[in-house]
Structure 1
């Protein structure tokens, strides 16, 4: 490190450049500004001092040693597709963008694992393992752009969670650069292993506040059969949620069980002319990737009709199924087009309380005179109420924020959680304390202080 007297930023840049390639250190103000925030609304972002784009573990270690020496905050970033402000820059920080660390190091069909760097795009990994007859199940809606490191940082989910689970269930081991630059290896490559505390799970969902993930061992599954999808229309959201309860109580294991409310259906039609039934109050999509999906869909169709479905349409081919799923994947984009800006909530409730949440959201929308569409991973109770508003309208923005908070309060009142897969970041930080309680918050802060005693890793996020 240099010991020549100079202003702090000049010294910081000099020390960073002493261990990094010239192209890895970016201090052009306009370029640095482009790394200021992720996709969340209502989340403040500071001005970073510099952006670094390391390509190796050693380079990340150098960044953290330098940041520790200078007592400078560090904000790790992936594709910045997050929805909670977790990747937002803080004033004077070093932004560490991990997108250049994008190698798939290994795919092992025998052990059914993949070893990857954090900048690997989710869809790229999925296609690579498919060539070996394998599958990496976590599939966030942003899978074509989001990175595995970001998925690990936020504990991402996706459409297939109802059957296959979330990111945490597929992370076997991690390489993590700690705040002081040390490299920590957690977990294992083996199918089983319970040695010591489960540090791997500790880092999954920590949003870069405990260390920087620079490598991961991921579990893979055999590639499933092509799935077939059924669409069921309901006159009320309560009836649709009754069908969800019946499907799950009946012992069925769909690969996907998604719900779109009337507002979302209409938004998708307006955006993409999908021809979805706008008269329906709720559209339920159910899929199976079993050896006999048609038989499973027939059983679910009967349950949907018994629950009050006005129309049940099973797809007969994979192409028809993909068309139905395309509508669901367009939901958030379509809702954003309604007013230009959205706040996407991420409340997860017990399946038995799903109808109460949807009905409550409808009341909140009426109260605040806002458009709020709900799409949901109904099979696991994870809902995404999406508040549509005009960001240039101060009063409408205020009402949007108020409605967002009321939805989170409703979710907690129904025995749920403030986030099922998007993380806490800045957006939900004050709500985390309400969910965890004083003791839970103290324990989490103690863990943070142990791993990051100077508080330089993604400060101000999560806790």
Structure 2
């Protein structure tokens, strides 16, 4: 017999524990839309660390699993509901305090990435990590998956900005690791252990983030290529010499889908589009822009456009951010985020095209090309069993290809539930055993996010 959530409700403020079936239905799936999602026993939306602790202690005492959910934007099924589990949503944990003296922000996990950026900007500071979904994804989810984004080629990913955490462990204890100090070698690097752990080791209730001075004005260079192979070679030419502030890739399917959505005059005949930016100051920036232009031209770009106008530059950045929702209008998506060492980028992009042809499915490739992180988007009709099967086969073959090329099955979305079958092939049995031992040490009853990663 399942536990009665009314006893949990007694220990929390009125209305915090929700059992209404219609509301629970809205929390079954995340952005990955896993059709096998279960139904939660109850939804809990705490506002404080203490309320999270009460929930975790009740779950530990009753043997009830906990799925932690941020904004529900996971693309790997990391917050898919499990039958009989508590769905703990951090959406109402939204406090933030910016400290200009230390250039830090102390943030609860439910705040959106964009809201953290805005709060930092109000104090003349900048929070760099910028997933394409920055307006709707939460900081807690960003930390749980070590999210990246468009500017990470130069400025790094989430883990590079997490200085400290407050984490509720599986037994209900709240621990603090790290802090506002920029350097700290005291003990094991436990902060790094929790970043990217996908809710398996504890529930993050507070994050201390490092902030930077504001980014300088950026110049934008756009290259239009006849083929994805030419564009991928141009990426290597740029990154061999400089580290741009952004270097993004879109194939012809994405270009046309975005043009359908935004009507901004993109070349529908192009095989690929590269959008690069330099934010280096003065003469150094001008030199970078000139270098990028020449790299694009010498690798087959039929048209190269450069601008210092921030509005024009933002328009192309917005076009790249819109690629996934634009392609999604063509059908249901299986979303990948495989990555490879940069020299293998052309082989990965060419290989994805071969996989698409071999399985007779449409695969659109967009990419944070400057760091080798690609997003192959498999478009299919789930009502067509044959097409759905081919899509699943292609999904696995793309991960196999990334591993074969010395890369990763996930650059920033996390393993979640959708990719865990391929994780042993990437990391090996010894690493899987070590991972399981760490999980056992921190969550011996296996109640935190069961079904993810392991």
- Structure 1 and Structure 2 fold alike (TM over 0.5): yes
Question: Are residue 217 (structure 1) and residue 215 (structure 2) matched?
Answer: no
User: Residue 109 of structure 1: CA displacement?
Assistant: 1.3
Q: Secondary structure of 1:360's match?
A: helix
Partner SS state of residue 24, structure 2:
helix
CA contact (8 A) 1:418 1:432 kept: yes
Question: Any conservation in 2 of the 1:234–1:309 contact (CA below 8 Å)?
Answer: yes
2:403 to 400, 409, 412: 412
1:418-438 Cα distance to aligned partner (Å, 9 max, x none): 000000010001011111111
Q: Summarize the Cα distance change of 1:150–1:368 in structure 2 as closer, same or farther, 3 Å threshold.
A: same
1:414 to 1:8, Cα distance in 2 relative to 1, 3 A: closer
Say if 1:43 and 1:85, in contact at 8 Å, map to a contact too.
Answer: no
The aligned counterpart of 2:65 is 73
Equivalence for 2:173: 182
> 2:132 aligns to what?
141
Native 8 Å contact 1:123 1:144 kept in 2: yes
Equivalent in 33, 36, 60 of residue 52 of structure 2: 60
1:421 maps onto 2:405 in alignment: no
Q: Secondary structure at the match of 1:346?
A: coil
Cα distance in 1 for residues equivalent to 2:2 and 2:339: 45
- Counterpart contact for 1:43–1:427, Cα < 8 Å: no
Give the count of matched residue pairs.
452
Task: Name which of 243, 253, 258 aligns with 1:253.
Answer: 243
- Deviation of 1:92 (Å): 0.1
Could you tell me which of 40, 44, 54 is aligned with 2:36? 44
Give the secondary structure class of the aligned counterpart of 1:135.
Answer: coil
Could you tell which deviates more after superposition, 279-288 or 438-447? 279-288
Q: Deviations along 1:240-283, whole A, 9 cap, x unmatched?
A: 12221111111x22110001111211221223223211222211
Instruction: Report if the CA contact (8 A) 1:53-1:99 is conserved.
Output: yes
Shift of 1:202: 0.8
Secondary structure in structure 1 of the residue aligned to 2:3: helix
**Which deviates more, 315-324 or 38-47?**
38-47
Q: Are residues 1:115 and 2:106 paired?
A: yes
Q: What is the CA–CA distance in structure 2 between the aligned matches of 1:297 and 1:265, rounded to whole Å?
A: 23
Alignment partner of 1:25 is 2:12: no
How far 1:25 sits from its partner (Å)?
A: 0.6
Structure 1 position 96 matched with structure 2 position 88: yes
SS in 2 for 1:23: coil
Shift of 1:296: 2.0
Partners in 2 of 1:244 and 1:269 — Cα distance?
Answer: 23
Larger CA deviation: 280-289 vs 66-75? 280-289
Do the aligned residues in 1 keep the contact of 2:179 with 2:208 (CA within 8 Å)?
yes
- Quote how far apart the aligned CAs of 1:42 are: 4.3
SS of the counterpart of 2:318? helix
Of 277, 280, 304, the match for 1:287:
277
Query: In the aligned structure 2, how far is the partner of 1:307 from the partner of 1:388?
Result: 29
Aligned position for 2:352: 361
Query: Which residue matches 1:164?
Result: 155
Residues 312-351 of structure 1 aligned to structure 2 (within 5 Å): 312-339=304-331, 341-351=332-342
The offset of 1:363, in angstroms, is 1.1
CA distance, structure 1, for counterparts of residue 3 and residue 23 of structure 2: 17
Q: Give ranges in structure 1 of 5+ residues lacking alignment.
A: 1-6
1:108-163 deviation digits (Å, cap 9, x = unpaired) = 11211100101111101101101111110011111111110010011111001100
Structure 1 distance, partners of 2:321, 2:372, is 17
Which residue in 1 is equivalent to 2:268? 278
Structure 2 Cα separation of the partners of residues 119 and 134 of structure 1: 21
- State how far apart, in whole Å, the 1-side matches of 2:379 and 2:344 are: 24
Q: C-alpha offsets along residues 321-378 of structure 1, whole Å, 9 cap, x if unaligned?
A: 0111121111101110112x10110100011111111111111111122111000001
Q: What CA distance in whole angstroms lies between the structure 2 residues aligned with 1:197 and 1:236?
A: 47
Other structure's SS at 1:134 match? coil
Deviations 1:59-111 (A, max 9, x none): 0000000000000000000000010001011110001001111110x211121
Q: Is the 8 A contact 2:40 2:84 kept in 1?
A: yes
